[in-house]
Chain A
Amino acid sequence: MRINGVQIDDTFAEAFSMKATRLVITAIDLYWAYRAANSFTGFASSVIDCGCEAAIERELKPSETPDGRPGIAVIIFAMSTKQLTEQVRKRVGQSVMTTATSACFSGVESPNRIPLGRSLRYFGDGYQMSKKVNGIRYWRIPVMHGEFLCEETTGVVPAIGGGNFLVMAKTSRHGLAACRAAVKAISRILGAGTTFPGGIVGSGSKIGSRYPFLTASTNHRFCPTIKGLVSDTELTGEVGSVLEIVVNGIDERAVRLAMRDGIRAACAFGPKKGIYRVSAGQYGGKLGPYHFHLHELLK
């Protein structure tokens, strides 16, 4: 299969099950909401060593937020509800509550709930108060800027992590231009998130390593500087840079749409702009049960 002259490999992206929640972070204006959201989603690129994966989903207009202030929707993914609970508590406590004028609300409906304000309220040192509004309990934690308002719990939904595709380009500059366009296209898909810096992975990994203490190591088959050394390299001579876009989603549909739109956006650059091939990371079924076949997605 070719799109705009770009070869699409007959392969699939192998994704795995995760747990996720969406949070709505509001503040006095969008600038401060972004400060909180950026801090919240910082150091959350991969569960390999961050404990979670998190991304900004989109900006929210005041009419879309519970308190009528500008906000940011963020999605956080983890491998289990327990890990998610811990990461939410730490990140909301240290990144959102510390941002002046911020407030934090649940952004997903689900009967499965994890603590949000319920675990943070103790910061109020006995001066905290709760208020139930329309059946939802909020915690009011007195802080130095006023009150930190936080919904008591947030919903947890099953999610998918590790949807991905690889863009093989002439150079990193060519690859980045195409991948940035792909990330922009993905950002329009609700429920999908690209958790790596700028949405692009410069050092994609494979499962395992020759070193027993490592669970993941460089995806050597896609490393251009060692393609002459590696017998099972996937790269041809003209490829000088491979960038990966990893997409997580709160459901299969979000991942599917995000991969489709992302690949199409990258392919729009074509070989004349240094984009030669698109492939995907699969690990022989060792990683997870979700298989997103590129040819099926792009039909």
Chain B
Amino acid sequence: MSALTLTLTGHPEEPVDMSPLVPDRLRGLRTPQVSALLLRCGNRTLRVRDLFRVTAGEAGRLRVLRSTARLDAVGAGLQAGDIDVHGPVGAQLGRKMAGGNIRVEGDAGLGAGCGMSGGSITITGRAGDFVGAALPGERAGMTAGTIYVHGGAGDRLGDRQHRGLIVVEGDVGDYCGSRMLAGTIIVLGTAGRYVGAGMRRGTIILRHRPRLVSGTFNSCGMLKMEMLRLLFRQLPRAHRRLASLKSMLPLAERLAGDLAVGGKGELLVLEGAG
């Protein structure tokens, strides 16, 4: 059976809070009931049918067509099921999701995967700032799960990240992994300034030498890291899109830090990094 499909019929003038439309909450609802659900759009409340054409399908899978960057909180709180979005999405994609899979064929706005505790997010385009970071006022960012960004990402990627994996194929902005508590970030493009600033633990793997690293990181030299060998071998087993990691060598310069906050984190700059 095909997925329950929502096709955007117009161009919302204000951001739309999409958080009520997650597969696990739609289970058991018939198409008219889904069409009648309420959504916040700016300071108004609209019915789903005012914005989308609803096509019946399997409730465990949701497809959003003709999406725009005005659709915020897509997949927020998702526990299980799949969401497939064609087009860009707005802020807080997969906010606090605990399971399931979200795939966005397009760009994502601010705070994708912020506070998530499980599941996976794939963004084929570019992601905004604060990917996998903590929600405003919260102490920890993502605590589990995987975020994969095919394009680049903005600043503060993984800010306060607390476990989980973020992989970015493109470039990332400044302060990548800032105040990180644990977890793994892999950046295959270039990273901006102050990578890992304030990180307590965790690992940031960089394919290219970052532009500017804080003086509170100490080099431990170029090393063969068995952990990298394990990571490059195991991650592609669970995430097919990470197959390119298999060919990478486990050689890296290890920069331990941030010594300002204990120094138990690390930047691993892969051999041959330019």
**Residues of A in contact with B (beta carbons under 8 Å apart):** 66-69, 103, 129, 131-134, 136, 138, 140, 146-147, 149
> Nearest Cβ in chain A — how far from B240, in angstroms?
13
B235 touches A134 (CB 8 A): yes
Q: Which residues of B contact A136 (CB under 8 A)?
A: 234
Q: Which residues of A contact B223 (CB under 8 A)?
A: 146
Min CB gap A150→B, angstroms? 10
Task: Please determine whether A149 and B264 come into contact, CB atoms closer than 8 angstroms.
Answer: no
Instruction: List 13 additional contacts besides A66-B233, A103-B226, A133-B231; criterion CB under 8 Å.
Output: A66-B230, A67-B226, A67-B230, A68-B229, A68-B233, A129-B266, A131-B231, A133-B230, A133-B235, A134-B237, A138-B227, A147-B226, A147-B227
- Chain B residues with Cβ below 8 Å from A69 are 229
- For A68, A133, A138, A140, the residue with the greatest tally of chain B CB atoms inside 10 Å of its CB is A133
User: Contact: B224 with A149, CB < 8 Å?
Assistant: no
Given contacts A129-B264, A131-B203, A132-B163, contact A149 B237 (CB under 8 A): no
A149 touches B201 (CB 8 A): no
- Tell whether, in the assembled complex, residue B226 and residue A66 are in contact, meaning their CB atoms are under 8 Å apart: no
- Top 9 closest pairs, chain A to chain B, by CB: A134-B238, A67-B230, A68-B233, A133-B234, A149-B226, A67-B229, A134-B234, A140-B227, A147-B226
Q: Which of B212-232 contact A (CB under 8 A)?
A: 223-227, 229-231
Q: Is the CB of A146 within 8 A of B233?
A: no
Query: In the complex, what's the smallest C-beta–C-beta distance from A155 to chain B, in angstroms?
Result: 17
Rounded to whole angstroms, the CA-CA distance of A227 and B252 in the bound complex is: 68
Which residues of the other chain, A, contact B67 by a CB distance below 8 angstroms?
A: none
Question: Considering only CB atoms, which chain A residue lies closest to B183 in the complex?
Answer: A132
Tell me whether A149 and B230 are in contact (CB under 8 A).
yes
Q: Is B233 touching A67 in the complex (CB atoms < 8 A)? A: yes
List 12 A-B pairs, Cβ < 8 Å: A66-B233, A67-B226, A103-B226, A129-B264, A129-B266, A131-B231, A132-B163, A133-B234, A134-B237, A140-B227, A146-B226, A149-B227
A20 to chain B, nearest CB (A): 25
Residue of B whose beta carbon sits closest to that of A142:
B220
The interface residues of chain B lying within 8 Å CB-to-CB of A132 are 163
Residue of B nearest to A62 (CB): B233
Query: B184 on the interface (CB 8 Å rule)?
Result: yes
- In the bound assembly, the distance between CA atoms of A133 and B186 in angstroms comes to 13
- The closest CB in chain B to the CB of A26 belongs to B226
Contacts of B184 in A (CB 8 A): 131, 133
Pairwise interchain contact B227-A131, C-beta atoms closer than 8 A: yes
What's the least CB distance linking A262 to chain B, in Å?
36
Could you say which residues of chain A place their CB within 8 Å of the CB of B224? 146
Q: Are B234 and A66 in contact (CB under 8 A)?
A: yes
* Most chain B CB neighbours (cut-off 10 Å) among A67, A69, A138: A67
How far is A129 from B263 in the complex, measured between Cα atoms in Å?
11
Who on chain B is nearest to A138 by CB?
Answer: B230
Give Cα A68 to B245, complex, Å. Answer: 13
A133–B239 Cα gap in the complex (Å)?
11
List chain B residues, Cβ under 8 A from A133: 184, 230-231, 234-235
- Report B66 CB to chain A, min CB distance, Å: 35
Nearest chain A residue, comparing its CB with the CB of B237: A134
Q: Could you tell me which residues of chain B, from 119 to 133, have a CB within 8 Å of some CB in chain A?
A: none
CB neighbours (8 Å) of A147 from chain B are 225-227
A-chain residues with CB within 8 Å of residue B230 when the two chains form the complex: 66-67, 103, 133, 138, 149
Q: How far is the CA of A132 from the CA of B266 in the complex (A)?
A: 15
CA distance A230 to B231 in the complex (A): 63
A149 / chain B contacts, CB cutoff of 8 Å: 226-227, 230
A129–B181 alpha-carbon span in the complex (Å): 12
Q: Report chain A residues within 8 Å CB of B203.
A: 131
**Using Cβ atoms and an 8 Å threshold, which residues of chain B touch A131?**
184, 203, 227, 231
Of all chain A residues, the one with the shortest Cβ separation from B225 is: A147
In the complex, how many angstroms separate the beta carbon of A9 from the nearest chain B beta carbon? Answer: 49
In whole angstroms, what is the CA distance A69 to B234 when docked? 13
Q: In the bound complex, what is the Cα–Cα distance between A298 and B235 (angstroms)? A: 46
B-chain residues with CB within 8 Å of residue A67 when the two chains form the complex: 226, 229-230, 233
Q: Which residue of A lies closest to B239 (CB)?
A: A134
Query: Closest approach, in angstroms, between the C-beta of A29 and any C-beta of chain B?
Result: 14
Decide: A129 near B231, CB < 8 A? Known: A67-B226, A146-B223, A147-B226: no
For the complex, what is the distance from the CA of A132 to the CA of B201, rounded to whole Å? 13
Would you give the shortest CB distance from B255 to chain A, in whole angstroms?
Answer: 14
Residue of A nearest to B231 (CB): A133
Name the residue in B227, B235, B238 with the highest tally of chain A Cβ atoms < 10 Å from its Cβ: B227
Q: How far is it, in angstroms, between the C-alpha of A14 and the C-alpha of B203 when the chains are bound?
A: 53
Shortest beta-carbon distance from A216 to chain B in Å: 42
Cα A136 to Cα B231 with chains together (Å): 11
Name the CB-closest residue of B to A127. B264
